[in-house]
Structure 1
Amino acid sequence: MEILELIHKQAPITGEQIAEQLGVSRPTIRSDLSLLVMLGHINAKPKVGYFPNQSFREEQAGGLKLKVKQVQSMPVIVRKTATVGDAVVALFVDNVGGLVVADEEGMLLGVISPKDLLKVTLGNPAAASMPVSLVMTRKPQLVTVTPDDDVIEAARKMAENQVDMLPVVVPHENGSDTPSLEVVGRISKTTMTKVLLDAARKW
């Protein structure tokens, strides 16, 4: 990661200096910097800047080297013909941070978050009978990971996009410019918390 390289070479370095050298705005890298601090790769001091965490031993942080396929869970899938009422029940029965909408072949169509359901149900008594296809987030706004992605990449995507769950997908060529995405799992903030706790115990 370019941010880590800059910090290792020029520490201490401020967030503004990092952003300037990368040619981006400070808010653009805020989530990346927060994640690197949280994971122990770097430290930060007010009025000083960011610098490497010399006590962090990456070889002992086995959890951070994991692939998504090693920690992913089974997805909770609903069909696009399911109703908002069905989705609310599935969300709470399975106690998950999001639902995956897929077709009969298991190809990804969309994702439904608790916020999506809250927006449509508040003050709308007819919402329960609406099809989920009207409220789900669709491509290209969907954020996904593959089984071979690093867990750290999944964490970065969650932080940047402020989502609680990511579908784990395998692309399949279908003759069009956009491949179909087969849903094979999910990874959640709960999963990430467990990975970080396991890694912390090894430090």
Structure 2
Amino acid sequence: MELTERQKRIIQIVKENEPISADNIAKHLYLSKPTLRTDLTILTMTGILDARPKVGYFFAGQNFEPLLFEDLYEKSISEIMVPPVVIKKEATINDAVTMLFMHDVGTLYVTENQVLLGIISRKDLLRSTISNTSINKVPVAMIMTRMPNVVTLQEDERILDAGYKIIQHQIDSLPVISKDNPALVIGKVSKTVVLKHFIDEAMHLKK
């Protein structure tokens, strides 16, 4: 997969104006900073650009390698997903809080016979514990975000697709559903999982 015309233009702008902030790159392109977030992430992760806090972007001098892009972004979600942390719909809010801290996760998936019914985020639980004094009685089904209002991934989607969805929807993790049976949750992909994949690939390239 080749760089897009916009990504090539970003590289040229950085070469001509380094160091340059993301805000100023956006101004050159007459676009908003959030619109460029994914492009800048890709260019930084592939080693084409270097980003320094409070300084800006530099041209790192690395040539774009298609194989590197394939390793980082084109792999299937099924290759990096991890087991989901699930909870039954009858479980209480108190049970959910305990499970969240036991597994050190940001999101729980509410299931019944592996069928995804909804999700509960850390924010949902915080809101509920503050506003509700009966957390030992209220079931999680009362506060969860229900299907089909949950953003999901199919197991054959790309890591790049996961990154787009996480950024676009500003969420911690995505449930991975079966391609053959979209009702079944078979894994999850989180910000941490994606970041670990990038770090593992970078370490592998250094060897």
TM-score, normalised to structure 2's length?
0.75
> Are the aligned partners of 2:48 and 2:63 in contact in 1 as well (CA < 8 Å)?
no
Instruction: Give the alignment partner of residue 76 of structure 2, picking from 67, 78, 83.
Output: 67
Contact kept in structure 2, 1:78 and 1:100, CA below 8 Å: yes
**Residue 49 (structure 1) shift:** 8.4
Give 1:159's aligned residue.
Answer: 167
Given candidates 66, 78, 90, the residue that maps to 2:99 is 90
Give the secondary-structure state (helix, strand or coil) at the position aligned to 2:4.
helix
* Cα drift, residue 72 of structure 1: 0.8
Q: Percent sequence identity over matched residues?
A: 29
Q: 1:30 to 1:139 in 2, by over 3 A?
A: farther
Equivalent residue letter for 1:146: Q
SS of aligned partner of 1:129: coil
Map Cα deviations across residues 34-61 of structure 1 (whole Å, 9 max, x no partner).
Answer: 4324423653789x98989643434245
Aligned to 1:57: 65
Match of 1:148 among 143, 156, 161: 156
- Which whole-Å deviations, capped at 9, do the CAs of 1:104-124 have from their partners, x for residues lacking one? 2x2211111111101110253
Aligned counterpart in structure 1 of residue 42 of structure 2, from 32, 36, 43: 36
CA gap 1:6/1:63 in 2 versus in 1, 3 angstroms: closer
Deviation at 1:28, TM superposition (A): 4.9
Change (3 A) 1:82 1:171: farther
Report 1 or 2 for greater relative contact order, CA contacts < 8 Å, sequence distance ≥ 6. Answer: 1
- Cα deviation for residue 164 of structure 1 reads 1.5
Aligned partners of 2:30, 2:110: CA distance in 1, in Å?
37
Deviates further, 53-62 or 159-168: 53-62
Q: Which range is displaced more, 122-131 or 107-116?
A: 122-131
CA-CA distance at 1:6 after TM superposition: 2.2
Residue 126 of structure 2 corresponds to residue 125 of structure 1: no
Distance 1:38 1:49, change over 3 A: closer
1:113 aligns with 2:114: no
Please identify runs of 4+ aligned residues in structure 1 that moved more than 6 A. Answer: 48-53
TM-aligned CA deviation for residue 145 of structure 1: 0.9
The total of aligned residue pairs comes to 191
**How much does 1:32 deviate?**
1.9
Q: Distance in 1 between matches of 2:183 and 2:125?
A: 24
Q: Unpaired runs of 5+ in structure 2?
A: 15-24
- Give the RMSD, CA atoms, in angstroms: 3.3
Q: Does 1:138 align with 2:146?
A: yes
1:200 counterpart (174, 199, 202): 202
1:38, 1:58 → 2: CA distance? 15
Task: Give the whole-Å Cα distance in 2 for the aligned partners of 1:19 and 1:130.
Answer: 50
Cα distance change on mapping 1:30 and 1:122 into 2, 3 Å: farther
